[in-house]
């Protein structure tokens, strides 16, 4: 396939490349084989070769391509309760709303209903890759991987492990430690089998919910399983004061250190939130290649804090964005990108004009919308150690077409000479699902909106 389009891609945390009127040549595997700029000698010959074939896609004027977004932390099962109970503390929210809601996924018909809807909703919002928490149920978790495979989304799916009786209700936890580990191993093997049938890949993820709901034995066993099968790992780390202190009291150390001791921090680890990492913890993340899934909307509700993301990025930690449905209410990573910028500005805050010598906030915390775009594309790809999130040779053709001319969601573009980087910023701030007209994953069209 060859696409003729103007596209944007993050080349570094602060820089966005404008790929104006380029030819994007996609191979049979859905990988970008070549990007040919109009100045290149081959441009006209490639154009002439493809222009009248059905392998040629000319993107209309007023439409632009962005890489598909990467959701580094989402509870697929919690889609059923998104937008509710955001006004109570994390511990109460888990026990009174979330655990009963997740327990319903023992019913596979119910699971199918919710999981098909969340996958298609994410695709409609431009999310081409998602790192999912499912529930403790093995069968329903395999079903989520199967639904990702069928809808063409690159899903990384975890069967949730929670086996510590003191912190988990009887109606919702793994039967016992051995069963939790055995179910996880069987889950890994079943998802690997599903993956063989897909072009885009689906991946099993080792998923201890978080230290407070897991026994030492299960954490150790999960670290060993991840090593044995070379899987991704995900969990929650230092999210709230309550969770952070729980780990301190149990182990006399921070979450990050404890997770590392169980073999759970490695190159393919993604830890949600990680708000209260010390500098030592952040160094451990950088050294092990572990990534942070920054969940800015959720953090406003359940963490009551803003993570100093700019500082951790400067320390060399891989960072991407997560919606954290349903700790965060929005399935849109546009909304989360906007909140990431706004939260970072509130953390920085600046100087009180009445007290000009007194700095408020944390210096050098601000991020720009280009940096948020980096998090939600290239940063997410680096966090997962997958060749996704950039429009460069060797990367997957995971792309969203943004139509800025939709009558009900038109972008304010009045000047015919508007600089393309200004159009990019307007898209990041103003795009709604109506503007996301086509979505491709690994070269295949997986969503279209008329
Ligand atoms: N910590 C443990 N489980 C959860 C969850 O489901 N959501 C959030 N936000 N934090 C958690
Ligand atoms: Fe979460």
Query: Residue 405: which CATH number?
Result: 2.30.40.10
- Same domain for 294 and 399, yes or no, is no
- Same domain for 350 and 435, yes or no, is no
When pLDDT is averaged across residues 158-182 and rounded to a whole number, the result is 97
When pLDDT is averaged across residues 318-339 and rounded to a whole number, the result is 98
CA 375 to chain centre: 9
pLDDT of residue 362: 84
Point out the domain boundary residue: 335, 362, 384: 384
Point out the domain boundary residue: 368, 384, 400: 384
- Same domain for 19 and 61, yes or no, is yes
pLDDT of residue 271: 98
Is the CB of residue 15 less than 8 Å from the CB of residue 36?
A: no
- Same domain for 223 and 348, yes or no, is yes
- Give me 410's structure tokens: 């038109």
Is the CB of residue 88 less than 8 Å from the CB of residue 395?
A: no
Distance CA(165)–CA(156), nearest Å, equals: 27
What string of DSSP letters covers 80-130? GGTTS-TTS-HHHIIIIIIHHHHHGGGSHHHHHHHHHHHHHHHHHTTEEEE
Residue 343 Cβ < 6 Å to ligand 1: no
Residue 368's domain comprises 76-384
- Same domain for 304 and 189, yes or no, is yes
When pLDDT is averaged across residues 352-379 and rounded to a whole number, the result is 86
H/E run at residue 35: strand 32-36
Indicate the top mutation candidate among 72, 80, 94 to test ligand 1's pocket, ranked by most ligand atoms within 8 A of CB: 94
pLDDT of residue 355: 66
- Same domain for 321 and 223, yes or no, is yes
H/E run at residue 320: strand 318-321
pLDDT of residue 138: 98
Indicate the top mutation candidate among 239, 246, 274, 302 to test ligand 1's pocket, ranked by most ligand atoms within 8 A of CB: 239
Q: Is 104 exposed, middle or buried (0-12, 13-18, 19+ CB in 10 A)?
A: middle
Q: How many domains does the chain have?
A: 2
Residue 105 Cβ < 6 Å to ligand 1: no
Residue 24 Cβ < 6 Å to ligand 1: no
pLDDT of residue 350: 64
The tens digit of pLDDT for each residue in 74-124 reads 999 999 999 999 999 999 999 999 999 999 999 999 999 999 999 999 999
- Give me 350's structure tokens: 């600046």
Q: Whose CA is nearest to atom 11 of ligand 1?
A: 236
Q: Which atom of ligand 1 is nearest to the CA of 239?
A: 10
pLDDT of residue 361: 81
User: Torsion angle, CA of 382/383/384/389, rounded to 10 degrees?
Assistant: -40
Task: Find the 55 Cα to ligand 1 centroid distance in Å.
Answer: 45
Pick the ligand that lies closest to the CA of residue 271: 2
- Same domain for 316 and 358, yes or no, is yes
Task: Find the 92 Cα to ligand 2 centroid distance in Å.
Answer: 15
pTM, entire model: 0.98
Task: Find the 325 Cα to ligand 1 centroid distance in Å.
Answer: 10
- Same domain for 322 and 412, yes or no, is no
pLDDT of residue 352: 65
Pick the ligand that lies closest to the CA of residue 95: 1
- Same domain for 213 and 117, yes or no, is yes
Per DSSP, 68 falls in state: P
> Does 31 score more than 70 pLDDT?
yes
Task: Find the 64 Cα to ligand 2 centroid distance in Å.
Answer: 32
> Does 358 score more than 70 pLDDT?
no
- Same domain for 81 and 51, yes or no, is no
Q: Quote the Cα angle for 21-439-450, to 5°.
A: 95
Kindly list the protein residues that place their beta carbon closer than 5 angstroms to ligand 2, a single-atom ion: 272, 324
- Same domain for 59 and 200, yes or no, is no
Point out the domain boundary residue: 369, 384, 399: 384
- Same domain for 258 and 360, yes or no, is yes
Distance CA(21)–CA(278), nearest Å, equals: 45
> Does 356 score more than 70 pLDDT?
no
Q: Which CATH number does the domain housing residue 291 bear?
A: 3.20.20.140
The tens digit of pLDDT for each residue in 218-250 reads 999 999 999 999 999 999 999 988 888 999 999
- Give me 317's structure tokens: 């930690």
């Amino acid at each position: 396939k060859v696409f003729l389009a103007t596209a944007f891609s993050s080349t570094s945390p602060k820089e966005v490349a404008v790929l104006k009127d380029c030819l994007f040549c996609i191979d049979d595997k859905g990988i970008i084989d070549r990007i040919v700029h109009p100045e290149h000698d081959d441009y006209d010959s490639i154009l002439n070769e493809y222009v009248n074939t059905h392998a040629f896609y000319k993107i209309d004027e007023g439409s632009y391509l962005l890489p598909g977004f990467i959701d580094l932390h989402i509870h697929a099962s919690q889609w059923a309760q998104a937008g509710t109970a955001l006004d109570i503390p994390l511990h109460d929210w888990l026990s009174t709303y979330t655990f009963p809601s997740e327990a319903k996924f023992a019913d596979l018909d119910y699971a199918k209903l919710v999981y098909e809807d969340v996958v298609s909703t994410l695709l409609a919002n431009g999310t081409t890759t998602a790192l999912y928490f499912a529930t403790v149920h093995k069968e329903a978790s395999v079903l989520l991987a199967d639904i990702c495979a069928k809808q063409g989304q690159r899903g990384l799916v975890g069967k949730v492990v929670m086996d510590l009786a003191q912190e988990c209700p009887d109606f919702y936890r793994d039967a016992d430690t051995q069963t939790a580990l055995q179910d996880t191993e069987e889950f890994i093997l079943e998802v690997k089998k599903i993956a063989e049938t897909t072009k885009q890949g689906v991946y099993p993820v080792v998923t201890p919910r978080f230290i407070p709901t897991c026994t030492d034995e299960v954490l150790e066993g999960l670290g060993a399983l991840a090593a044995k099968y070379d899987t991704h790992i995900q969990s929650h780390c230092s999210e709230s004061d309550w969770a952070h202190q729980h780990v301190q009291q149990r182990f006399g150390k921070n979450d990050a250190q404890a997770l590392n001791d169980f073999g759970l921090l490695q190159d393919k680890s993604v830890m949600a939130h990680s708000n209260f990492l010390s500098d030592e913890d952040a160094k451990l993340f950088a050294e092990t290649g572990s990534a942070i899934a920054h969940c800015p909307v959720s953090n406003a509700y359940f963490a009551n804090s803003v993570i100093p993301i700019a500082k951790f990025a400067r320390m060399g930690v891989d960072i991407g964005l997560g919606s954290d449905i349903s700790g965060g209410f929005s399935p849109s990573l546009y909304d989360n990108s906007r909140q990431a910028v706004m939260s970072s500005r509130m953390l920085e805050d600046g100087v009180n004009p009445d007290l000009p010598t007194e700095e408020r906030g944390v210096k050098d915390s601000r991020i720009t919308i280009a940096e948020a775009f980096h998090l939600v594309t290239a940063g997410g790809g680096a966090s997962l150690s997958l060749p996704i999130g950039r429009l460069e040779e060797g990367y997957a053709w995971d792309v969203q077409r943004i139509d800025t001319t939709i009558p009900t969601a038109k972008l304010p573009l009045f000047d015919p000479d508007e600089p393309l980087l200004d159009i990019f910023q307007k898209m990041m701030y103003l795009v709604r699902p109506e503007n996301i007209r086509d979505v491709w994953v690994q070269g295949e069209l997986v969503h279209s909106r008329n």
